[in-house]
Amino acid sequence: MVLALGVLITAAGIVLLLNLGGAADMVMKRVTSQPLGELAPGFAATRRGFNTYAALVLAIGMFADGLGVVGWYVPIGTSLIVLGGITFAGASVIAIAGEIETYRALKR
């Protein structure tokens, strides 16, 4: 079950990251570019920011894939868990820095 969920999340991350079928453009237009109440659209409304958040989704999917595979084949499962964790940490740092940069650039 964890492997199936991981595959779905990984597929969603790849589709968004590669903009397959215009999926990323549609999500950016309908979701991330919309204001949240009084909050202006943030880092996710930019292409760089959206790709960063898509990488976070992909990292979560890889981590879940690793959890699903580790019971069958430990080296591959462990590698996916570590790769997903490292990717998540790196993309999180980029996302936080981007959100801070975007917030500071707002005209108040």
As averages over each run of 10 residues, the pLDDT of the chain (108 residues) reads 94 95 92 77 88 96 96 94 97 94 81
**How far is it, in rounded angstroms, from Cα 37 to Cα 25?**
22
Side-chain-facing half-sphere of 56: CA atoms under 13 Å? 14
SS (H, E, C) 13-38: HHHHHHCHHHHHHHHHHHHHCCCECC
- Could you please report the per-residue DSSP string of 88-107? HHHHHHHHHHHHHHHHHHS-
**Tell me, what's the pLDDT at 39?**
67
- Token pair for residue 95? 């996302």
Does the model's pTM come out above 0.85?
Answer: yes
**Tell me, what's the pLDDT at 40?**
67
